[in-house]
Amino acid sequence: MDNASDVPAAPAEPPVVSKKPGTDWWAEARGIFWLILAVLGFHSFIAKPFYIPSESMMPTLITGDRLVVTKYPYGWSYVSPSFHVLPFIHGRVLGRLPERGDIVILKPPQADTDFIKRVIGLPGDRLEVRGGVVVINGVPVKRVPESPAMIPVDANVPCDQPEVARFRMTGRDGQLYCALPRFRETLPNGRSYDTLDLGYMPEIDDYPAITIPAGHIFVMGDNRDQSADSRVPAYRNGLDGPVPFENLGGRAEFITFSLDGTTKLWNPISWFTALRGGRAGTSLHPSREER
């Protein structure tokens, strides 16, 4: 009688190993493409971040400020895309003129870069500057002296240029400040903001009377003696007069955060220690005085 234990066992079936699907690189590339396109579209038509690289808008904006610029308030034009790749195209889609006092970004007619300035004059205005005082349609803009603008000295605002070094001072808190002469300016529509005036400089504090052409705006920096704006000729890197309406890129809305210039890419702690306190969330819309 055969013993069942003597019957050889059937060989076991090898386990079925499911093959891991390979990465679909074409699908991944398409996903990245659509993501980049969405970001560029948002930056071109809705809003984009902006960095302040110079002193031309002090005391409102200082070097190192990061802010949000919205693209839609004035409609869209050839400068709306994130990169300035289009030639000049006349007109704007759903175009609306800015209001006096708006802070805007714009492209100079002679360069592919972005400037940030304040709108002072609109089409049809008769505008001139006499001794640093703006005159619109024969009426001097209200200008009231205030206490100095106390801007802390740091790596982004060293206050060491010959024009401003004389204004360096130590505050009661022991901090070094740039105490710059400040004036409150109020435009005919009642919108007011602070400006700086370092003293009389004929080449920029006097500007002959002009009538702003149709489809153009006249812009100036709040730091009146250190701004390459509509008063400054093109050979001095200025805007060389009123700027075409099509060159407006958007309106500045608010400061997101501000850095003092001590950030080190390799040191994450410095990303936080370099933050300036008290600037995040600051609105860039001028106040409106009772009239």
Question: Is-catalytic flag, 107?
Answer: no
Sign (positive or negative) of CA dihedral 84, 86, 87, 89: negative
Length of the chain in residues, anyone?
Answer: 291
Active-site residue identified among 44, 48, 56, 258: 56
Which of 44, 80, 117, 258 is flagged as catalytic? 117
Q: What is the dihedral of CA 51, 57, 60, 219, to 10 degrees?
A: -110
Residue 117 is among the residues annotated as catalytic for this protein: yes
Give residue 56's region: left, alpha or beta (phi > 0; psi -120 to 50).
alpha
Q: Catalytic amino acids?
A: 56, 117
